[in-house]
């Protein structure tokens, strides 16, 4: 959590995609944020997160050296997860991302144990 990625483009947005491998895959997402710069009183970092064009979280404001986790409240279905983080108009700094975890649910067709056991 001591490092973060931030956008290199001028419009202040950070975008990335994750391919789950199957259109009916269920996924769970955990994004971790911590402000690593000591911002002055007149500075701020506020951004919205979208997933596949829909709002995932609004007005995210990382706290200085404190970890905040934004998570999916329910399973996300789809073969491609496209995340976008957009700087709010009143923000003086672009979005950042310290870490992300994406868990894809794997369904097994066969029972993991013999039905006769137990």
For the record, the structure tokens of 83 come out as 């995340």
Mean pLDDT per 10-residue run, the chain (118 residues)?
Answer: 83 89 90 95 96 95 96 92 94 95 83 66
Q: Total structural domains in the chain?
A: 1
* 68 domain residue, yes or no: yes
* 88 domain residue, yes or no: yes
Structure pTM? 0.85
Q: What is the pLDDT of residue 115?
A: 65
* 2 domain residue, yes or no: no
């Amino acid at each position: 959590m001591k490092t973060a990625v931030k956008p290199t483009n001028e419009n202040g947005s950070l975008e990335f995609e994750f391919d789950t491998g199957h259109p009916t895959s269920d996924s769970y997402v955990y994004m971790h944020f911590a402000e690593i710069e000591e911002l002055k009183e007149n500075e701020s970092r506020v951004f919205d997160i979208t997933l596949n064009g829909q709002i995932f979280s609004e007005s995210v404001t990382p706290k200085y050296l404190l970890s905040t986790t934004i998570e999916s409240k329910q399973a996300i279905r789809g073969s491609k997860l496209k995340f976008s983080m957009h700087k709010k108009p009143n923000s003086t700094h672009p979005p950042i991302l310290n870490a992300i975890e994406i868990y894809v649910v794997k369904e097994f067709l066969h029972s993991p144990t013999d039905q006769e056991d137990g």
